[in-house]
Copies of this chain bind each other. A is one copy, B any other.
């Protein structure tokens, strides 16, 4: 999660909503991503989606079996859906997102029994650090 936080800090510096993600396999970081919606002008450029695509490239496979996704904010519907599609083992997130989170806050995409894969999910890891960065960003935006 510390590595994901570093990605979130880079997003903060780039004036993006500060969310960062990494994907780990066998104890090694194989992919990183940070929110780049404004810089890239791409609605899909969320930290997790970028990291999942990079991990697929890295492994040469759409299946991320044996991998864990660490992300500083509870994933949205798109990113939760991508995690399910990639068959990733685990999703570990920091801050909860009461407005858009799809690990249970708004909808539960990650643990939906109707889908053909359900990753393990763990929320609230380094929650304070993860949400501090988001709060600072939105405080700055309102100034």
List residues of A whose CB falls within 8 A of some B CB. Answer: 37-38, 40-46, 49, 52-53, 56-57, 60-64, 76-82, 84-87, 99-100, 102, 106-107, 109, 112, 114-116
Contact = CB atoms under 8 A, between A and B. Distances in A.
A82 B63 CA distance: 21
A87 B37 CA distance: 13
Contacts of A38: 62
Q: What number of copies of this chain does the assembly contain? A: 2
Given A106-B115, A107-B107, A62 B42 contact: yes
A76 B114 CA distance: 12
A82 B76 CA distance: 9
Contacts of A60: 41
A61 B44 contact: no
A112 B116 contact: no
Most chain B CB atoms below 10 A, which of A53, A78, A79, A116: A78
Given A81-B77, A99-B114, A44 B37 contact: no
Contact of A63 (B43, B100, B102): B43
Given A76-B85, A77-B102, A115-B106, A42 B53 contact: yes
Given A109-B109, A114-B99, A116-B99, A57 B81 contact: no
